Structure 1
Amino acid sequence: MSYIIHNARWYTEEREYNGSLLIQNGRIQAIKTNFSYYRYMKMNVSPFILTPTHTMVDWHFPITGTKAEKELYTRNHYLQKGCTTVLQLLELKYQFELEPTIGNARKSLMNNCVDFVLGLTCPARLITLEFIRKCKKWKIPIIRVQINSKEEIDQIKWSWVKQALYSYPIVFVPQFTKEIEKNRHESMSLYWQNTLNNDKIPFISTPFFQYQVLSIDNLKKIGIYPKRGNFLVGGEVSYNLYDPKLNTKVEDKPMFHYDNHRLLLTSLREKVVKLYDQTYFDETIGEEITIQTPAFFI
């Protein structure tokens, strides 16, 4: 099937785009100002704001829950928010948990209505040469490291980690535990950044928060971009449509922010999964996104 998404205005963070997208066989074949000489059906989206669907961070998905619990969670936390891809951070306490945890998560998440990328959360003591090699084998592009102190950062043999990251540069993000006072988070973030920067280790400076929508910069670091995060020739057709009218009166707003507009429709690979306040759950359309090379586009 061929058609044109006509007169689109779309945003990626602070940048605005205007144009039309030629769609053929479920893929974006071309992006131009217009396709005036084409006689394909045109879907006029000029009354709306168009965005790529969101990629969100989560570590509370009920992997061992019932089918009904998983569906309800997906509807409420993902589909209602225009999210069709989730970075699932699986928690480990010991290295021997790695393979069964990943295997169970993949089985649980495959029968879902959103795509997923698997990452890990683990204590700093697990960051060893052997552990990194296992993560590379399982194509884990990101590790969230639980940090209690600067000493824990120093105890990791980062020079060994750097050697192990050859050909698959896993990115590291900190998780500062409750033992670290709030007023120390900034200094800890700076220490984390300086340490990993000195050893040329791929990293994200600040901790993630639950249900965070990932920026393009972070999508690139993890390797999820360009599969997600923008409309590109050859890419899939997944998008959100927002009402352009603001639902807030706050002054000095950014050019576009999803929280300031009402989400009207979400389409995942041309299948509508949200329309106004209704969500449509199809457990057959979710896929795992395997990251072949993290940070390839940085």
Structure 2
Amino acid sequence: MTSYILEHVRMVGGSEPVSILVEKGIISAIRRSFPQYRFMRVDVSPFVMGPTPVFCDLEYPEHLLHQGSMDYYIGKGCTTILTAFQLEYEYRFEENWRGIKETMQSSPLDFIIGMKTTPQKITPGIIRLCRSRRVPVIWVDITGVEALLSVPWGWIKEALNHYPITFVPFFSTEPDTKTREKHLRIWQNTMKSVKIPHIGLPIGQKVPLNGEVLKKIGIHPHRGILSPGREISYNLYLEKDEEDDLLVRDTQLVLKCTMSKGECLFLDGRPIACQRKGEEISIRTPGFFVEPTPYRL
């Protein structure tokens, strides 16, 4: 791959412009300038640059064949999807995991595979299977708290010693507000008491994951960040000023270009057809960068 320098880069949330040295598709260094290098230089001063966001969509594989769904994520500057397969029977773990992986590989987006299941299916054996396939996150249906409380969490904790999977709650059937808060409170207290890596609230769907969630699951620093040693995937935005009132100015960022490991996925308002196939991101150590912290309602 060609080596080059991106100059006059204004980062989202940054203060001073920087230059980015790219070698073989990897960010080698980020500095104020690289005057000693003779590489090709690209001036991106008209734009604001940001990392490509990671979206969560537990239903994404079912919608994969619909071009509208694909265009939605690419149009948001997304290059990576966090999704999950449903586990109903332990003996079908391998079949379900392999099926979603093969489906996701037909997409141009990279992916992280989690698992969603009921409390009754959470056993040390399932944890070992998740570890063998590097499944970094398990969604637990907390619609019924009785089943949640019956899980032998002490044994699960021991099974997590070699691969600290992060547990996330979800509701297969959305309850009323009072019941929802009660169940989430029980979830948080249970996870905290046994010191199991967890996220206290359901993860938003079809929206970018925040930095805390990325760290807890172990996706950071693989995605969602521009830093030396990482691949050069980024979004370029133009600033759009709207003045509805002389005293109020709202600056918006309008996506103009999405680059994913050297290939353009989105340019000037439309997705670009490309030949790249999605790659699975293997999480070696979930939650390596942060300690689990309790959530409070």
TM (norm. structure 2) is: 0.88
Q: Please report how far the alpha carbon of residue 74 of structure 1 lies from its aligned counterpart in structure 2 after TM superposition.
A: 5.2
Task: Give the corresponding residue for 2:10.
Answer: 9
Task: Give the corresponding residue for 1:133.
Answer: 128
Q: Which whole-Å deviations, capped at 9, do the CAs of 1:144-179 have from their partners, x for residues lacking one?
A: 111113323211211111100011000000002435
Aligned 8 A contact 1:132 1:164 in 2: yes
Correspondence 1:110 to 2:105: yes
Task: Give the corresponding residue for 1:28.
Answer: 27
Q: Which whole-Å deviations, capped at 9, do the CAs of 1:72-104 have from their partners, x for residues lacking one?
A: 145323211111000112222222332111111
* d(CA) in 1 for partners of 2:17, 2:119: 45
Label 1:95 to 1:230 Cα distance change in 2 as closer, same or farther (>3 A).
same
* 1:1-298 mapped onto 2 (5 Å cutoff): 1-11=2-12, 18-63=17-62, 70=65, 72-73=67-68, 75-178=70-173, 180-246=175-241, 260-298=252-290
* d(CA) in 2 for partners of 1:248, 1:187: 44
Label 1:165 to 1:217 Cα distance change in 2 as closer, same or farther (>3 A).
same
Aligned 8 A contact 1:223 1:296 in 2: yes
Q: Please report how far the alpha carbon of residue 197 of structure 1 lies from its aligned counterpart in structure 2 after TM superposition.
A: 1.6
Q: Please report how far the alpha carbon of residue 52 of structure 1 lies from its aligned counterpart in structure 2 after TM superposition.
A: 0.6
Label 1:189 to 1:137 Cα distance change in 2 as closer, same or farther (>3 A).
same
148-157 or 208-217, which deviates more: 148-157
Aligned 8 A contact 1:75 1:279 in 2: no
Q: Please report how far the alpha carbon of residue 40 of structure 1 lies from its aligned counterpart in structure 2 after TM superposition.
A: 2.3
Supply the AA of the counterpart residue of 1:120: M
Q: Please report how far the alpha carbon of residue 46 of structure 1 lies from its aligned counterpart in structure 2 after TM superposition.
A: 2.1
Aligned 8 A contact 2:242 2:249 in 1: no
Runs of 5+ in structure 2 lacking a partner? 291-297
Q: What secondary structure does 2:289 align onto?
A: coil
118-127 or 86-95, which deviates more: 86-95
* d(CA) in 1 for partners of 2:42, 2:256: 15
Label 1:15 to 1:46 Cα distance change in 2 as closer, same or farther (>3 A).
closer
Q: What secondary structure does 1:7 align onto?
A: strand
Aligned 8 A contact 1:111 1:283 in 2: no
Q: Please report how far the alpha carbon of residue 283 of structure 1 lies from its aligned counterpart in structure 2 after TM superposition.
A: 4.2
Q: Percent identity?
A: 34
Q: Please report how far the alpha carbon of residue 291 of structure 1 lies from its aligned counterpart in structure 2 after TM superposition.
A: 1.1
* d(CA) in 2 for partners of 1:247, 1:27: 36
Label 1:241 to 1:207 Cα distance change in 2 as closer, same or farther (>3 A).
same
Supply the AA of the counterpart residue of 1:172: F
161-170 or 101-110, which deviates more: 101-110
Label 1:62 to 1:228 Cα distance change in 2 as closer, same or farther (>3 A).
closer
Aligned 8 A contact 1:75 1:281 in 2: no
Aligned 8 A contact 1:149 1:180 in 2: no
Q: Which whole-Å deviations, capped at 9, do the CAs of 1:114-171 have from their partners, x for residues lacking one?
A: 1011001111111111111111112110011111133232112111111000110000
* d(CA) in 2 for partners of 1:296, 1:286: 25
Q: Alpha carbon RMSD of aligned pairs, Å?
A: 2.5
Label 1:287 to 1:279 Cα distance change in 2 as closer, same or farther (>3 A).
same
263-272 or 207-216, which deviates more: 207-216
* d(CA) in 1 for partners of 2:90, 2:263: 39
Label 1:62 to 1:198 Cα distance change in 2 as closer, same or farther (>3 A).
closer
Runs of 5+ in structure 1 lacking a partner? none
Q: Please report how far the alpha carbon of residue 202 of structure 1 lies from its aligned counterpart in structure 2 after TM superposition.
A: 0.5
